[in-house]
Structure 1
Amino acid sequence: MSDPLNTQPWRRQAACKGLDPSIFYPADDEDECLDAKAVCALCPVADPCLEHALGVREKVGIWGGCTERERRRIIRQRRRSA
C-alpha cells in the first residue's frame, strides 16, 4: 500500500513533515492553532497544501495555514468572484 503522504510531491518539502500531527488538529479553540499556523507561515509549500485542502474539501485540521472556517470562507469568496 502506498504512503498517502507521498501521493502529492509537495508533501516531501512540507515544514510539518515529521512533526507531531496533533498540533495541526487542535480543538475548536482558535488559540490552539497558533503553533500550527507558525509552522505553516515558514513552510515553502503552504500554497499547494492549502489548494489541496480546498480541492478535497478537507473538513479538519490546519492546512496551508488555514482552519476549516478560513477555508470555507475562501471557497465562498472564490464562488462569488467566479
Structure 2
Amino acid sequence: MTDAWRKQATCVGLPTEWWFESERTWRTTLAKQLFTDCVRKEPCLAEALANPTAQGVWGGHCFPSARQRLLKIRRVEAG
C-alpha cells in the first residue's frame, strides 16, 4: 500500500505521542478531533485495518479497540 497520502494528512508535523491511548486522554481526544476535517482519513483508516498490529489513533478511531467493530461494519456494508 502506498503511503503518499501521509504528506497531505492533518497530522503531519504534530507530536507522535498524541496518537496513542497510553498518553493523556486529552491528547487522544484532540487527535480524534483533528481527523474530523482531515482529507486523508480514509487511507489512514484503511492502512490501520490492513495492519493487524496497528495501535493508536488512525483515521479518527482508536486501535486496536476499533478494529473488530470497523471490520464488521465494512462486511455488512459490502453485503
**TM-score strictly above 0.5:** yes
TM range (shorter): 0.7 to 0.9
- 5 Å matches for 1:6-21? 8-21=3-16
Aligned twin of 1:55? 50
Question: How many angstroms does 1:79 deviate by?
Answer: 4.1
What is the identity percentage for the equivalent residue pairs of Structure 1 and Structure 2? 32
SS of alignment partner, residue 19 of structure 1: coil
1:24-76: CA deviation from partner (whole Å, max 9, x where unpaired): 01228866521110111121100110011101224310000001212221113
Q: Which has the higher strand share?
A: 2
1:70 to 1:59, Cα distance in 2 relative to 1, 3 A = same
Gaps of 5+ in 1: 1-6
- Give the structure-2-normalised TM-score: 0.77
Deviates more, 1:20-29 or 1:41-50: 20-29
2:70 counterpart of 1:74: yes
Aligned residues: 76
User: What is the root-mean-square deviation of aligned Cα atoms in Å?
Assistant: 2.3
- Give the structure-1-normalised TM-score: 0.75
Q: Distance in 2 between matches of 1:29 and 1:21?
A: 13
